Amino acid sequence: MITLYVEENYEALSRRTADLIGAEIIHNPSCVLGLATGSSPIGTYDCLIKDYKDGKIDFSKVKTVNLDEYIGLEGTHDQSYRYFMNTQLFDHVNIDKSNTNVPDGTAKDIKAAGEAYDELIASFGGTDVQLLGIGENGHIGFNEPGEFVAGTHIVDLSESTILANSRLFNSADEVPRQAITMGLHGIMSAKKIILIASGEKKAEALSKTINGPITPDVPASILQLHPNVVIVADKAASSKA
Ligand code: GLP
């Protein structure tokens, strides 16, 4: 079941999402959070850092599992998702970094790394809350349109994703062509899913996610099968929903 919250703007969307995650941490201090990268969650992470500094939430027992990572980028690379998580959230709260997990894009055996990642998620019984952004083409994590894949796997990035993500690199040529991503079983095994969508560019994908058929052409449409999904969107992103 999908519940849609429409917020006035990105600030309100970020506050709302941080409140939902903060509530989870207060309810269950040892919770497992599934976390996402990209521009969409940055405001949420800022709010969570503020809440931590204000003494409202405590990350000391929280565990995290991230969705994805570029193939070939070390965690120290400033465009790697490990680096993103450290600088946007982990370095600013009292989380134990050994409790944070990001797929290893430099593993020699990516298949084995993927299987180990799925075992980790299964050992938690799935995440308590999985935070998601959404690609302009309806991807979640790096599950690109074309097929539903259950397990953590290596993926060839679509041209549209390379183009969209090139804004963060010096040029499109520098964007890695492959990524390792949590698969759809890992995402859907979450007890609760929160998807955030901001801006007009996401309106079409969001509309198809909520109202369209469940199809590999729009990977996020699989969320219709999950019993507890909250979509937090701003007015622009929800304009076609
Ligand atoms: C990347 C990430 C996704 C993210 C998407 C949207 O491709 N792998 O997890 O949701 O981009 O990013 P943004 O929030 O910057 O629009």
Question: Mind listing the pLDDT tens digit for each residue in 131-182?
Answer: 999 999 999 999 999 999 999 999 999 998 899 999 999 999 999 999 999 9
Residue 104 a catalytic site member? no
Closest CA to 182 of 225, 209, 219, 210: 219
Q: Which of 10, 13, 39 to mutate to test the pocket of ligand 1 (most atoms within 8 A of CB)?
A: 39
Q: Cα dist. 194→157, 170, 214, 233 in Å?
A: 23, 31, 18, 10
Check residue 150 and give its pLDDT: 98
Check residue 51 and give its pLDDT: 98
| Residues above pLDDT 70, as percent of the chain | 100
CA dihedral angle for residue 205, residue 6, residue 232, residue 167, rounded to 10 degrees? 50
- List, chain by chain if needed, residues with CB within 6 Å of any ligand 1 atom: 36-40, 67-68, 133-135, 141-142, 161, 165
Q: Which amino acid makes up residue 186?
A: G
Helix (H) or strand (E) holding 181: strand 178-181
Q: How many helices (H) and strands (E) does the chain have?
A: 7, 10
CA separation for the pair 53, 147 (Å, rounded):
42
The pLDDT tens digits for 21-71 are 999 999 999 999 999 999 999 999 999 999 999 999 999 999 999 999 999
Question: What number does the ligand 1 atom closest to the CA of 201 have?
Answer: 16
Give strand pairing partners of 69: 180
List all residues 6 or more positions away from 88 whose beta carbon is below 8 Å from its beta carbon.
37, 41, 42, 45
Residue 109 a catalytic site member? no
Check residue 43 and give its pLDDT: 98
Question: What number does the ligand 1 atom closest to the CA of 36 have?
Answer: 9
Three-state DSSP at 74 gives: coil
The pLDDT tens digits for 81-139 are 999 999 999 999 999 999 999 999 999 999 999 999 999 999 999 999 999 999 999 99
Q: Which of 69, 80, 142 to mutate to test the pocket of ligand 1 (most atoms within 8 A of CB)?
A: 142
The beta-carbon contacts of 85-91 under 8 Å, at least 24 apart in sequence, are 85/35, 85/37, 88/37, 88/41, 88/42, 88/45, 89/35, 89/45, 89/48, 89/49, 90/64
Asked if 212 and 221 count as a contact pair (C-beta separation under 8 A), the reply is yes
Which of 7, 24, 66, 137 is labelled catalytic?
A: 137
∠ CA 156-157-158, nearest 5°, is 115
